[in-house]
Structure 1
Amino acid sequence: MLNLNGTLVNTATGQLSINNRGYAFGDALFETLKVLDANILFWEDHYFRLMASMRILRMEIPMNFTMEFLEQEILKTVEANGLSSQAARVKLTVDRGEGGKYKPLEQVVNYNIAVEALDAPMYGIADHFNYTIDLYKDFFVAPGLLSTLKTNNKITNVLGSIYAQDHQLDNCLLLNTNKQVVEALNGNLFLVKGQTVKTPPLADGCLKGIMRGQIMDFITKDAHLELEEASISPFELQQADELFITNVITGIQPITNYRKKSYTQEVSRALLTKLNAKIRLA
């Protein structure tokens, strides 16, 4: 079941118009959420990021778009799909309605909610696995505020994903136009060297990730680690002890191989333990 502006419709029959601005112009934002036993993880962070992003895109936020209203709509959709007692992935999308060319005909905001089941309730890392990445250099991310938003304009991520598949890679890292490493195709990047954990700044064009914020908070509170928010050059990847990717669905994904370099997982596994402990207390 899909939720289209509050109405539950069958997934097979629910559809958007070809004049929908999210489809026609990428004039839309989305949040990818993890729901566990009818609890939206990090919901407050997601909600305020969505509101801030809508303001940046000059969307008129409807009066009923309160945190409580959207939470109820999400959980209503989760329940309608029979997933209230397990883990679910939710995609909440808001768009600027229909009509117009680049300039909208009117200030309207629509929303839709799609849900699918997740296999594992808690975050985990397989004991025996290889996760191989490389740089994607065909196209680059533009540094700046718009690149930090979760908009429907994700063609670079799409092309990078096809590149990864064609080259038998698990993921790729994106570069910005200044040739700095920005993020992975599906999450933020962290680099560990000694006791320093480094992640690119938002000014470089990386997504303002919800899990990124959680992990940065854990690192800041750890007396044995030092957080550095600074640009990462491709050269630093070869010198790192660890690399890992973060997003709200996977949690923490350690990278095991980049070209001829192999990495350890000590810090990423320790952070994962803290992350799961926080979720259990929620």
Structure 2
Amino acid sequence: MDHYLCFNGEFIKEQEFSIPGNNRAFYFGDSLFESMHAYSTFIPLFKLHFDRLLQGMEVLGYEQPTTFTSSSVAAIITRLLNRNKQFKSTRVRLTVFRNSGGLYLPTNNSASYLIQTSTLDFDKLAHKQSSMIVDIFPNQIKCAGELSPFKTGNALLYVMAARYAKLNRLHDSIIINQHGRFVELSSSNIFGIKENTLITPPLQEGCVAGIMRNFIIHQLAPKTGYNVELKPITQKDFVDFEEAFATNAVSGIRNIVGIGTKRFYSTKYRGLQQQLEKLMF
């Protein structure tokens, strides 16, 4: 069966789609993207995703196409999922990039968008994924700045952190900032649990302004009786947590059972995970 994507509102068979050689996303990583979880054509956190994307476009100086609105993009995603007959859990990737022209200095700021879908190997949230052993990625730091909250096409840091984890037989690795404090994982934000408080780094530490992170802080925590503390996390802070978990918009909450030789409990996060699925779906 043919699989389709959508480019600037036009549905195209994947095998027939191509980009020009001077595409700025390809040349310079001049792009932003959102990875979303759709279930039966419904994206629970779509508004949060779209708002973050618009904020990133403003920071990068992209001109928003007149047809690129929340309602129009949501409708296109629904049509694309129906066309591809994807009615269970599906990853939806929405990419926006500056159109061709110029070298580092662009000659225009008009933008195009691309929507792609791929079926996930789990239903709703990722309950059956294995718990994670993680450790620090020592080869490159991430500093806070105006781009750090967004998911950009320049993702080499995350590629290298993910490779490091695989080469060292870890499930993921922790990216640190210039102060040696914990920022995030290669594809997730990071939380610790201490008594009745969820602890995660503030955006000023350099982490992505994760959509699931946002939802947990403002929706899940209040509904489950947890306090939230945004504070810098050192390695010593982290090993003192009772439990730890990773979050992203596609898989929800994933348990971290260890860093190095330290092992964590795995009880409170299960209740959070169950409540999260109820709230989202």
User: What TM-score comes out, normalization by structure 1 length?
Assistant: 0.94
Partner of 1:102: 104
Any unmatched runs of 5+ in structure 2? none
Q: Tell me how large the CA RMSD over aligned residues is.
A: 1.4
SS in 2 for 1:148: coil
Partner of 2:274: 273
Q: Which amino acid aligns with 2:189?
A: N
Mapped contact 1:191–1:244 kept (Cα < 8 A): yes
Q: Which amino acid aligns with 1:99?
A: G
SS in 1 for 2:94: strand
Mapped contact 2:61–2:109 kept (Cα < 8 A): no
SS in 1 for 2:140: strand
| Structure 1 position 40 matched with structure 2 position 43 | yes
Mapped contact 2:200–2:231 kept (Cα < 8 A): yes
Which of the residues 46, 53, 57 maps onto 2:56? Answer: 53
Partner of 2:222: 220
Q: Deviations over 1:36-68 (max 9, x none)?
A: 011112111111111111111111111221111
Mapped contact 1:144–1:204 kept (Cα < 8 A): no
User: What TM-score comes out, normalization by structure 2 length?
Assistant: 0.95
Q: Which amino acid aligns with 2:173?
A: C
Q: How many residues align?
A: 277
In the TM superposition, 1:1-282 aligns within 5 A as: 1-83=4-86, 85-126=87-128, 129-217=130-218, 218-223=220-225, 225-280=226-281
Any unmatched runs of 5+ in structure 1? none
SS in 2 for 1:232: coil
CA distance, structure 2, for counterparts of residue 258 and residue 126 of structure 1: 20
SS in 2 for 1:125: coil
Q: Which amino acid aligns with 2:277?
A: N
CA distance, structure 2, for counterparts of residue 40 and residue 187 of structure 1: 19
Mapped contact 1:243–1:254 kept (Cα < 8 A): yes
CA distance, structure 2, for counterparts of residue 126 and residue 68 of structure 1: 33
CA distance, structure 1, for counterparts of residue 84 and residue 253 of structure 2: 27
CA distance, structure 1, for counterparts of residue 184 and residue 99 of structure 2: 30
Q: Deviations over 1:129-186 (max 9, x none)?
A: 4421100010000112211111111111001111111111100010011211000110
State the percentage of identical aligned residues. Answer: 29
